[in-house]
Amino acid sequence: MAEAAQSGAMPASKEEGGVDEVRMISSDELRAHAAADDLWISISGDVYDVTEWLPHHPGGSLPLLTLAGQDATDAFAAYHRPSVRPLLRRFFVGRLSDYKVSPASADFRRLLAQISSAGLFDLVGPGPKVQIAGMLVLFCAALYFVLACTSPWAHLLAGGLIGFIWIQSGWMGHDSGHHHITGHAALDRLLQVLSGNCLTGLGIAWWKCNHNTHHIACNSLDHDPDLQHMPLFAVSSKLFGIWSYFYERTLVFDAASKLLISYQHWTFYPVMCFARINLLAQSALFLLSKRKVPQRCLELAGVTAFWIWYPMLLSCLPNWPERVGFVVASFAVTGIQHVQFCLNHFSSEVYVGPPKGNDWFEKQTAGTLNIQCSPWMDWFHGGLQFQIEHHLFPRLPRCHLRKVAPIVRDLCKKHGLPYAAASFWEANVLTWKTLRNAALQARKLTSGAAPRNLVWEAVNTHG
C-alpha cells in the first residue's frame, strides 16, 4: 500500500536540489497554510504553494480555497488529466513527512488508473451528435408550431418543446463542462455558449463556478451552494443562520424564511416549475458582478442573444394569454430537470465544515443518491442516474457510467461505505420526507431576525 501511495509522488528535479535536499513538511505545517494569501495543498505526498495560481485556476478559486492546507490528491486526480501533473512542478515546496493513503482512496486511485488506461475518459461515443441533432429537430418543430399553426394547443406544445430542448441543453452543458465532447476545446466552448448562453440564457461561467464548488464540497451545508436555497428550501435545520462560504453571507432564518420553509414540502414542486427564473437571475448577477469571469464579453453576448430570440418568438404569438401559456409550458417542463437535480442530494447525508481531501471516496458516496432505471431511460436522466459514479469520476462520459457502476458498488461494499440507490418514485418520496422533516423543525424554532426583502433573498438562492 505504501509503495502504491508513494508511486504517484513527483520526484524532485536537480534544480530543486535533489532527493536528499527536499524539504520535509508535516501535516500540521501544511494546515497552517490555508489562507487565500498563503495557500498550500498536497498531491500524492508532494506539497505545492499555489497562492499565485489561485486567481488563474480554470476551475475557479473556491475549489482550491475549500481544500487549502489539505491533501487534495483524489480531487485533483478526479478532475485533471495526467498531463496536467507536470505543470505543478513550479509550485513545488516539499514533501509530506507523514503522508498516508486510506484503503478506500488507494482502491479509488487504482480504479481511476484502470479507467484511464482503457481510454474511457476520451471515448465520448455518438451521444452528443445525436443530442445536437435531436435539439435542432425539436427547435424547428417548435418554430413551425408557432409560426405556421394557429391553434392555441399547437402554441402550448411549442412552449413544452422549448422546455424539453432546455433540458437537453442542460445535459450538454453539464457534460461539456466536465470533459471534451468533441475532442476540440474551441469547439466545445462554442457549443457551451450556443447551447447554454444563447439557447437557455444561462451563463456557462456561472454554472462552472457553482458546479465545481458543489462537486468538491458535496453536501457540506456551509460550502455546497446546491444545498443553500434559503429562504425557499432547507434540507436541515443546521442551515438556519449558517454562514455560506459560496455566497459570503449568512443564510438568515427570519420570519419570512420560517414561513416558507415550514411548508416547503408542499411548495417544492410548484416552485420547481419556475426555478429557471432564479437561475436566469443568478446567471445575470454573476456576469454583471465584479468577480473574475472568463471571456465575460462572450458570455454576455450569448445571454443577450437569448433575450433577443425568446421575446421575439413570443411576439409571434397572437395574444397575451397564449404568450403566458407558452412561457409557463417551457418553464414547467424544464422543472422536471430541476427536480432531478435535487433528488440526487437532498435526502443524502449532510455535514458542516469543509471536506477533507483524503476522504474523497467516502464523502462523494455518502452525499449522493443514484436513480435506478432501465438503460432505455438513460436519455431522460442525462447521466444523473449514476450520480455516485459521476461524482467519483466527473470526467467520465456518461455513456460509460453504467459499465463502471458495478465496480463502484463492489468497492463500497468492500469498504463498508453506502451505495444508495432508489427508483425515481422512491427518490421523490425520500426528498419529500427530508423537506417535511426540516419543515417541522422550522415550525418549532423561533426566527432570529425580522423579515428581510423576500425578493432579494429569493434571487440569492439556487433552485
- Convert the pLDDT of each residue in 60-97 to its tens digit: 888 999 999 999 999 999 999 888 889 899 999 999 99
Residue 2: partners with Cβ closer than 8 Å, 6 or more residues away:
101
pLDDT-based confidence at 178, cuts 50/70/90? confident
Burial class (CB in 10 A: 0-12, 13-18, 19+), 175: buried
Q: Is the pLDDT of residue 32 over 90?
A: yes
CATH superfamily of the domain spanning 2-100: Cytochrome b5-like heme/steroid binding domain (3.10.120.10)
CA proximity to 192, closest of 309, 206, 334: 206
Burial class (CB in 10 A: 0-12, 13-18, 19+), 37: exposed
Region of residue 13 (phi > 0: left; psi between -120 and 50: alpha; otherwise: beta): beta
Residues forming a β-bridge with 24: 95
| Per-residue confidence (pLDDT) for residue 10, from 0 to 100 | 44
Residue 315: partners with Cβ closer than 8 Å, 6 or more residues away:
none
pLDDT-based confidence at 461, cuts 50/70/90? very low
Q: Is the pLDDT of residue 463 over 50?
A: no
Q: Is the pLDDT of residue 25 over 80?
A: yes
pLDDT tens, residue by residue, 345-379: 999 999 999 887 668 889 899 999 999 999 999 88
Q: Which amino acid is at 164?
A: F
Distances, alpha carbon 172 to alpha carbons 197, 304, 342, 439, in Å: 12, 20, 18, 34
DSSP letter (8 states) at residue 358: G
pLDDT-based confidence at 15, cuts 50/70/90? very low
Distances, alpha carbon 77 to alpha carbons 74, 130, 357, 358, in Å: 5, 30, 11, 12
| Per-residue confidence (pLDDT) for residue 403, from 0 to 100 | 95
User: What mean pLDDT comes out for the span 54-59?
Assistant: 88
| Per-residue confidence (pLDDT) for residue 446, from 0 to 100 | 77
Selected residue with higher pLDDT from 371 and 127: 371
The span from the first CA to the last CA of the chain, in angstroms, equals: 43
User: What mean pLDDT comes out for the span 177-195?
Assistant: 86
Comparing 43-47, 178-182, 336-340, which segment has the lowest mean pLDDT?
178-182
User: What mean pLDDT comes out for the span 128-146?
Assistant: 94
pLDDT tens, residue by residue, 402-420: 999 999 999 999 999 999 9
271: Cα separation from own chain's centroid = 20
pLDDT-based confidence at 7, cuts 50/70/90? very low
Q: Which amino acid is at 82?
A: P
pLDDT-based confidence at 173, cuts 50/70/90? confident
Q: Is the pLDDT of residue 440 over 60?
A: yes
CB 410 within 8 A of CB 137: no
Comparing 109-118, 238-247, 438-447, which segment has the lowest mean pLDDT?
438-447
C-alpha cell at 64: 482550491
| Per-residue confidence (pLDDT) for residue 447, from 0 to 100 | 66
Q: Count the residues in the chain.
A: 463
User: What mean pLDDT comes out for the span 419-432?
Assistant: 97
Q: In angstroms, rounded to a whole number, what is the distance separating the alpha carbons of residues 189 and 92?
A: 31
Considering the entire predicted model, what is its pTM? 0.88
| Per-residue confidence (pLDDT) for residue 142, from 0 to 100 | 97
Q: In angstroms, rounded to a whole number, what is the distance separating the alpha carbons of residues 359 and 71?
A: 9
CATH 3.10.120.10 in the chain: give the residue spans: 2-100
| Average pLDDT over all residues of the chain | 89
C-alpha cell at 93: 515546496
Residues forming a β-bridge with 422: 371
Continuous segment of H or E residues that includes residue 172: helix 152-178
